[in-house]
Structure formats: structure tokens, C-alpha cells
Amino acid sequence: MTIRGIWSRLKRLALTDIRVIAQGGVDSRLLEQLEELLLTSDFGTAVTATLVDNVKQRGERGELKTQADFQRALGEAVVAALMSGRHDPSLICAPSGPSIYLVLGVNGAGKTTFIGKLATRLQREGKKVLVAAGDTFRAGAVDQLRVWAERSGAEFVSAGAGADAAAVAWAAIDAAVAKRVDVAIIDTAGRLHTSDSLMEELRKIARVIDKRMPGAPHESLLVLDATVGQNAIVQARVFAASVPISGIVLNKIDGTATGGVVVAVHEAIDAPVKFVGTGESADDLEPFDATAFAQGLFSE
């Protein structure tokens, strides 16, 4: 994990010398600086309020005597936020037969790249993977996924451009069963999340998948671009209102200096963060670890 700097920025910003935490409570100016910093780091208002309140209360209880106490308290508060509600980062497996994963998100969020990385990872673990080009909207989307399939050794299912995405999903499950794969990952188109027709299409895909294989998809993974900040939270709410989201993938963590959006998105839709994308190549995918993430945020 590469997000750093929140702590050093706080030290730079803080009017108070945070090496000396006042006895009997954290200085109110320091709390204000912290609040501002968390808001500008995309933690969102709800998470920011929780974190500031947490630190304030611990200060009043006399638990924060040193800078290290303060640093640790912030890290612990972030972990607590990430551990509240649904937070298991492991992928859900089907009780029997192939596990079906549906991948959602706006265009450019990194869905197809994520599928390529996940397929690579699962194949390396010895699982047999199939990827399906359910993005029949964008020209080039099919070939992009085909390249990832070839590179990772995954099976590949596609239909012509303009084909019905739900039919591709159906065919993907047929193939997954016939070829006895462990995991089938279905890509989708990502036109603007404000487009009602996209949400309708996603609901239809999910319905058709469940019809072909009751209980599937076993994961509906929402892919978000961490660099869009607060907008990722808006997207998360819109998608979650249409399709039940079982897990979140935060991409382009390498391109954000802040990372608060990871916590904010989890809080916004009560879904576990399962992976973070840290770059464009096959290995740039990390299973999410809340503790390591929080440590990274507040390390020197």
C-alpha cells in the first residue's frame, strides 16, 4: 500500500505542536485541522465526524499523552470504521459448481483491467478461470478482455459487438459449467452511472444470471476509481441502489495522494472493500487489509 502523507501533512498543518498533546484533551485547533485534513482527503463528512469524535473522546479520557498515542488512535479509528458493518475481504465461493462474479462500475473505473488481474491471480492459485466479455457496448472492449484472458490463461467467452449483455452472461455460465471452471468473471459496460438504461441493463443481467444459476452471481463487485474522490461515493450509492453490491474494488490507489475515499465508500454502502488496484499491470492488485491500510495512512 502506498498511500502515505496524511500524518506528515497533519504535522505540517497543525498550528499546535503535536509532539505535546495537552493534558486533559486534544487541543481544539488541532482537532479542527484534523477535520479539515480528513475532509480534503476524501474521508467524507460522516467518517470524518466519527474519526474526529473518537480522537476527541480519547483525548478527554486522558488516553492521548504523546504524538505516538495520537497517531495510533487515528489508525485504530480508521480500522474500526473499516471493520464496522460488512467487512470480510475474502471472495465468496459458490457452495458447489462455478463461482460467478459480476463486475460493475462506470467507464474507465478499471473493470476490465481488474478482471485481468483477478484472473491472473486466481489462475496462479491453481483455480480454473473463465472471463466473459459482457461489455458489448464499447468497441474494443472484447479484444481488451481477450488479451487479458490469453495472458492469464483463462477461458474466454464473447459474442459480437452489440450483442445482448445478458445473453453473454448466460452463455458464460453455460461454458463455466461445461468446462468445469472454478470461477467465471463477467465484465459489463460502464456508461455513465446517471444513465437509467445502464442500471436497468445491469439489473437485467443480474436477473438472467440468477435464472440460469439460482443464487448467482456470488459476487457483484463494484469497481471504483479512487482518484475521482467524492464522486466515487456518489457512484457507489447509485450502483448499490440498483444491484446488491457484495464487494468493492478501489482502483488507481497509486494515483491518489489521499485514500480516504476507501473508508468513505465502505461507510456509504456498507460493503466490504475486497481489493485495491495499485497500477496497470497484472500484479498490481492487492487483497484489502484494513490494518495495513490504516498503518500506511498514518505512518511517517
Q: Which does 158 bind (CB under 5 to 8 A by kind): Mg ion, ligand GTP, none?
A: none
Bridge partners (DSSP) of residue 191 are none
- Could you say which of 44, 59, 260, 277 contacts ligand GTP (CB under 6 A)? 277
Residue 207 burial (CB count, 10 A): 13
- According to the binding rule CB under 6 A, does residue 287 interact with ligand GTP? no
Handedness of CA 263, 272, 187, 135 (dihedral sign): negative
| Cell (9 digits) for 41 | 482527503
Three-state secondary structure call for residue 274: strand
Q: Is 2 in the site for ligand GTP (CB under 6 A)?
A: no
**Does 188 help bind Mg ion (rule: CB under 5 A)?**
no
Nearest-angstrom CA–CA distance, 80 and 38: 16
Q: Residue 142 and residue 163: Cα distance in Å, rounded?
A: 11
Q: Is 109 in the site for ligand GTP (CB under 6 A)?
A: yes
113 near Mg ion (CB under 5 A): no
In single-letter form, the type of residue at position 3 comes to I
Q: Which of 63, 254, 286, 289 binds ligand GTP (CB under 6 A)?
A: 254
- Residue 48 sits in the site that holds Mg ion (CB under 5 A): no
Binding residue for ligand GTP, selected from 33, 278, 293, 298, defined by CB under 6 A: 278
- Classify strands 155-157 and 219-225 as parallel, antiparallel or unpaired: unpaired
Q: For 133-203, where are the E strands, in sequence order?
A: 155-157, 183-186
Decide whether 190 or 217 has the Cβ nearer to ligand GTP. 190
Contact 216/173 with Cβ under 8 angstroms? yes
Q: What is residue 91's DSSP assignment?
A: P
Q: Select the span of 85-93, 105-113, 239-247, 257-265 touching Mg ion (CB under 5 A).
A: 105-113
> What SS3 state is found at 32?
helix
Task: Report strand pairing: 183-186 vs 99-104.
Answer: parallel
Interface pick for ligand GTP out of 252, 264, 273, 297 (rule CB under 6 A): 252
Tell me the window of 20-28, 79-87, 233-241, 278-286 that interacts with ligand GTP (CB under 6 A): 278-286
By the rule CB under 6 A, 283 interacts with ligand GTP: no
Q: Which stretch binds ligand GTP (CB under 6 A): 111-119, 166-174, 197-205, 232-240?
A: 111-119
- Taking CB under 5 A as the rule, does residue 112 contact Mg ion? yes
Residue with smaller CB distance to ligand GTP, 247 or 277 = 277
Q: Which three cell numbers stand for residue 176?
A: 463455466
Candidate segments 3-11, 124-132, 192-200, 250-258, binder of ligand GTP by CB under 6 A? 250-258
Number of H helices, E strands in the chain: 11, 8
Report the nearest approach of ligand GTP to the CB of residue 82 (Å): 19
φ/ψ (deg, to 5) at 105: 155, 165
The residues facing 100 across adjacent strands are 184
> 3-state class of 223 per DSSP?
strand
Residue 109: contacted member of Mg ion, ligand GTP, none (CB under 5 to 8 Å, by partner type) = ligand GTP
Which residue's CB comes closest to Mg ion? 112
| Interacting residues toward ligand GTP by CB under 6 A | 105, 107-113, 135, 138, 141, 190, 251-252, 254-255, 277-280, 284
